[in-house]
Chains A and B, each alone.
Chain A
Amino acid sequence: MHKTRRFLIGAAIILAALAYLIYGGMREAIVYFVTPSELKGQESSSKDKFLRMGGMVVAGSLQKDPPNLTYRFQLSDGAQSVPVFFRGIPPDLFSEGKGAVVEGRIGPDGVFVASTIMAKHAEEYSPPPQGKTSTPRSFVPGQEEKRP
């Protein structure tokens, strides 16, 4: 009986420590998925949450400043769009009219401040597109390749 009790106390301590670790870790690191439509109108209640938002980079909305590495664009799910601000280097696949996932928080002005941009990878590799065989002269993420 004595041994069993000691074992149970030990197990309880370990489980409690583990639960504490998991709870603390989850609270810090959990990321909620939202769509622009879900976020629209809930900016204030989503303020403290770390969010991941997926959508399409609205064509013509991208304003960038390569020397300062800042990017502003609208991310849309078709129904609604949310302005996004990002400073840094977006992934190679990021461009207007393409899908992108941004991670960050919504600011008080309703602008989504992204700390990360993830571009959607194509599932399969497509065959070479016609007329794209010449050499690239510039590549800036977020912009179609310039080929002469």
Chain B
Amino acid sequence: MTATIGHASVIAALLLAVWGIIAPVIGSRPGRERFYASTRAAIMGQFFLVTLASLSLIYGLVTTDFSIKYVAFNTTRATPIYYRVTGLWGALEGSLLLWEWILIIFSGLVAWIYKERHRELMPWVLMIFSIVSAFFLVVLGFVSNPFESVFPVPADGRGLNPLLEDANMMTHPPLLYTGFVGLAVPYAFAMAALIRGKLDEAWIVTTRRWTLTAWFFLTMGNLVGAYWSYHVLGWGGYWAWDPVENAAFMPWLPATAFLHSVQVQERRRMLKVWNLSLIIIAFSLTIFGTFLTRSGILSSIHAFSSGPVGTVFLVFLAIVLLGSFGLLAYRADHLKGQPELDSMVSRESAFLLNNVVLVSALFTIFLGTIFPLISEAVAGVQVSVGAPYFNSVTVPLFLLLVFLMGVGPMIAWRKASWDNLRRNFLWPSVASLLFALLLFGWNVRDFFPLLGFTLLAFVVLTILFDTALAVRARHRIAGEGIFSALATLARKNQRRYGGFIVHLGVVLITMGIAGSMGYSVEREATLRTGESLSLGRYRILFQGLKGSQQPTHFRVEGAFRVFNKGEDLGILSPALKFFPAQQSPVGRAVYRSNISDDLYLILSGFSELKENQATLKILVRPMVMWMWVGGLVIFLGTIVAVWPFRQKGRGWRIED
């Protein structure tokens, strides 16, 4: 019954989506206003039906309706209720349904918020949404149907992958999908602008907050994914340059480039073609990412099992790319005659360079990700591209980006004068060079960490310096105190100061990455009870093993007392979890964080046959925590940038 409702809703929504594609075309002639109402109704109808379908699947999962194959494969009677709900994105079919659901929520919001506005663009915006939605509905209806039944109905389900039974897994996929799907909004507006030939800045101004919001979710999705990997996968790392991680990260690069380059278009009416291309690429990469993940063409720990879904996604990707760039070529004559760069030393050129670097990073990561495919197809040689490739290629690019992060927001538009350069950069440069000397004296002497930390200091100093100048000016003119001056500045120029805060968050994350990549140490050993192992300032004493029966598994944990230079820090208990349905145990690493480093313990084997023994791996990774703090700072900065402050006499601003 549940399955029938769900499947029927998907099919009905597909019919509405088809109508949502046709109606704007018929309604494009003058005097056919009612077709716009009908286009909107098609979106709202899809919203209702897809919500119904998603709730049906959740209902099936919660009530463990094992007649649905998806439910039988992803829950058991013992699964706690919250993991039953998150089973919605535990496997392929459900996560596609979640994707479609988020897409149609976004579409519904756009249709509702802009009901009376953007009358010229809106029918086409909604049409683009319906096209994307129709694609997902076809997949959900006919290729990988989440409501497929199973017969005979099993007595119990098989259960979620135990690695997914973690609180971060409840948030990571929805965050990432929200980021992916959020990019559909600027994409849809861009396509609508192309279809209408209305290529001024309207589509950019309207979608500014949507883009920033999507970017925020994309950033958080990637960070929470890294945190999950660190927290749960138990290998002591947070990023492995796995194809699926790359798939999630790649759209972030053009999205970030887009966020910056649209400012150049808003301000100087330049880079029109570039911005359109960026958003097309960003959106296509979200589809490509799903293709990579779901086709099983590249093996990965995250990839779900393969099937015909991959091919379907590849076809859709081809349609998106050909259609979008075709439209762009068709409108090429509307996009001519833009202003040119006045000077290489200007904000435009800093932003342009930032874009070049981001797109270069995208290209190198893309190449590394698909190189095994190229190599096998062209030369017949099976190869894989390891993490060292990605590290060695992206580190210089990201350092350049950090430098630009210090320059871009402070340098003047059009042509920077000597005065501007001296005023904004002299003191921060001097101070960061002093900082570099300090680091050198403090034994940070490897090239990349030294350069990296210096550049990061430069960014922080330029931001603080610029803000201090502005606060001082307000203090002199309006007589405001420091905090009220800061508040006024942030409110009057949300994007600038929100952006500053986001940049500070990015600095923190980069410092965490630099510290933990450059200065990690590790050691492993088999210990008997009473033996200890030392690493850096830590000494770890093995005190014994303990086994316990948990609701879903048997757990063996080792007790390890941690000493920091003789000071007793208490016991850490890494564990191995033995799930009945699994051949081998799942490790549960534990770690202890503080501001300078993380102590990470992995129990990889044990024996209590002759005497108690434990095989332990320990890692000391500096500054990991800074990454997670950086994530919070980005959250704060995004809030400052998009919060709809009430402006006098203007009411709530939803756009601009």
A interface residues (Cβ-Cβ under 8 A, vs B)? 3, 14, 18, 21-22, 24-26, 28-33, 50, 52, 66-67, 69, 88-89, 92-93, 95, 119, 121-128, 132-133, 135-141, 145-146
- Docked CA distance A92–B588 (Å): 12
Known: A18-B363, A32-B381, A135-B549. A122 touches B578 (CB 8 A): no
Is B580 in contact with chain A by the CB < 8 A criterion?
yes
Is B542 in contact with chain A by the CB < 8 A criterion?
no
| A14 B360 Cβ-Cβ under 8 A | yes
In the complex, chain B residues whose CB is within 8 Å of the CB of A25? 364, 368, 388-390, 392-393
- Docked CA distance A77–B118 (Å): 64
| B392 A89 Cβ-Cβ under 8 A | no
Known: A25-B393, A138-B607. A128 touches B383 (CB 8 A): no
Known: A25-B389, A89-B615, A136-B556. A31 touches B384 (CB 8 A): yes
Q: How far is the CB of A65 from chain B (nearest CB, A)?
A: 9
Q: Which residue of A lies closest to B376 (CB)?
A: A33
Q: Which residue of A lies closest to B372 (CB)?
A: A33
In the complex, chain A residues whose CB is within 8 Å of the CB of B617? 89
- Docked CA distance A18–B397 (Å): 9
Q: How far is the CB of B379 from chain A (nearest CB, A)?
A: 11
Instruction: Indicate the member of A28, A88, A138 with the most B CB atoms within 10 Å.
Output: A138
Q: Which residue of A lies closest to B382 (CB)?
A: A33
Q: Which residue of A lies closest to B604 (CB)?
A: A89
Known: A32-B382, A124-B305. A69 touches B583 (CB 8 A): no
- Docked CA distance A121–B585 (Å): 12
Per-residue interface assignment for chain B, residues 538 to 549, with 1 indicating a CB less than 8 Å from any chain A CB and 0 otherwise: 000000000101
| B609 A141 Cβ-Cβ under 8 A | no
In the complex, chain A residues whose CB is within 8 Å of the CB of B371? 26, 30
| B392 A140 Cβ-Cβ under 8 A | no
| A128 B581 Cβ-Cβ under 8 A | yes
- Docked CA distance A21–B395 (Å): 10
Is B292 in contact with chain A by the CB < 8 A criterion?
no
Known: A22-B393, A136-B556. A141 touches B383 (CB 8 A): no
Known: A21-B364, A92-B584, A137-B608. A31 touches B381 (CB 8 A): no
Is B301 in contact with chain A by the CB < 8 A criterion?
yes
- Docked CA distance A52–B299 (Å): 14
Instruction: Indicate the member of B340, B364, B387 with the most A CB atoms within 10 Å.
Output: B364
| B388 A28 Cβ-Cβ under 8 A | yes
| B615 A138 Cβ-Cβ under 8 A | no
A-B contacts, 8 of them at CB < 8 A, read: A26-B385, A30-B386, A66-B607, A92-B587, A121-B301, A128-B581, A136-B554, A141-B604
In the complex, chain A residues whose CB is within 8 Å of the CB of B580? 128, 132-133
Q: Which residue of B lies closest to A89 (CB)?
A: B604
Is B524 in contact with chain A by the CB < 8 A criterion?
yes
In the complex, chain A residues whose CB is within 8 Å of the CB of B484? none
In the complex, chain A residues whose CB is within 8 Å of the CB of B158? 125, 127
Q: How far is the CB of B431 from chain A (nearest CB, A)?
A: 29
Is B161 in contact with chain A by the CB < 8 A criterion?
yes
- Docked CA distance A69–B527 (Å): 11
- Docked CA distance A62–B368 (Å): 35
- Docked CA distance A32–B578 (Å): 34
- Docked CA distance A3–B367 (Å): 31
In the complex, chain A residues whose CB is within 8 Å of the CB of B554? 135-136
| B384 A3 Cβ-Cβ under 8 A | no
Interface residues of B in 556-594 (CB under 8 A from A): 556, 576, 578, 580-587
Is B605 in contact with chain A by the CB < 8 A criterion?
yes
Given A28, A93, A128, which contacts B584 in the complex, CB threshold below 8 Å? A93
Is B146 in contact with chain A by the CB < 8 A criterion?
no
Given A33, A89, A121, A140, which contacts B384 in the complex, CB threshold below 8 Å? A33
| B393 A66 Cβ-Cβ under 8 A | no
In the complex, chain B residues whose CB is within 8 Å of the CB of A31? 383-386
In the complex, chain A residues whose CB is within 8 Å of the CB of B578? 135-136, 139, 145
In the complex, chain A residues whose CB is within 8 Å of the CB of B605? 66, 89, 139-141
- Docked CA distance A121–B296 (Å): 14
In the complex, chain A residues whose CB is within 8 Å of the CB of B604? 89, 92, 141
Q: How far is the CB of A129 from chain B (nearest CB, A)?
A: 8
| B360 A138 Cβ-Cβ under 8 A | no
- Docked CA distance A145–B606 (Å): 11
Known: A138-B608, A146-B609. A29 touches B615 (CB 8 A): no
| A138 B606 Cβ-Cβ under 8 A | yes
Given B159, B367, B383, B547, which contacts A32 in the complex, CB threshold below 8 Å? B383
Is B481 in contact with chain A by the CB < 8 A criterion?
no
Given B161, B389, B525, B556, which contacts A26 in the complex, CB threshold below 8 Å? B389
- Docked CA distance A21–B393 (Å): 6
In the complex, chain B residues whose CB is within 8 Å of the CB of A124? 305
Given A24-B393, A137-B608, A139-B576, 15 further pairs, Cβ under 8 A: A26-B371, A26-B385, A29-B392, A66-B526, A67-B525, A69-B526, A92-B586, A121-B301, A124-B305, A125-B161, A127-B158, A135-B554, A136-B578, A140-B607, A145-B578
In the complex, chain B residues whose CB is within 8 Å of the CB of A66? 526, 605, 607, 613, 615
In the complex, chain A residues whose CB is within 8 Å of the CB of B396? 21
In the complex, chain B residues whose CB is within 8 Å of the CB of A125? 158-159, 161, 581-582
In the complex, chain A residues whose CB is within 8 Å of the CB of B535? none
Q: Which residue of A lies closest to B587 (CB)?
A: A92
Q: How far is the CB of A134 from chain B (nearest CB, A)?
A: 9
In the complex, chain B residues whose CB is within 8 Å of the CB of A126? 581, 583
Q: How far is the CB of B398 from chain A (nearest CB, A)?
A: 12
Q: Which residue of A lies closest to B392 (CB)?
A: A25
In the complex, chain A residues whose CB is within 8 Å of the CB of B606? 138-140
Given B363, B525, B607, which contacts A69 in the complex, CB threshold below 8 Å? B525
In the complex, chain A residues whose CB is within 8 Å of the CB of B524? 69, 88-89
- Docked CA distance A70–B138 (Å): 53
Q: How far is the CB of B397 from chain A (nearest CB, A)?
A: 8
In the complex, chain B residues whose CB is within 8 Å of the CB of A123? 305
In the complex, chain B residues whose CB is within 8 Å of the CB of A52? 384
| A127 B526 Cβ-Cβ under 8 A | no
In the complex, chain A residues whose CB is within 8 Å of the CB of B582? 125
- Docked CA distance A138–B387 (Å): 33
Is B12 in contact with chain A by the CB < 8 A criterion?
no
| A139 B585 Cβ-Cβ under 8 A | yes
Is B490 in contact with chain A by the CB < 8 A criterion?
no
In the complex, chain A residues whose CB is within 8 Å of the CB of B195? none
Known: A139-B606, A140-B607. A29 touches B387 (CB 8 A): yes
Q: How far is the CB of B4 from chain A (nearest CB, A)?
A: 27
Is B335 in contact with chain A by the CB < 8 A criterion?
no
7 tightest A-B contacts by CB? Answer: A29-B389, A33-B382, A138-B607, A29-B388, A128-B580, A25-B393, A92-B584
Is B356 in contact with chain A by the CB < 8 A criterion?
yes
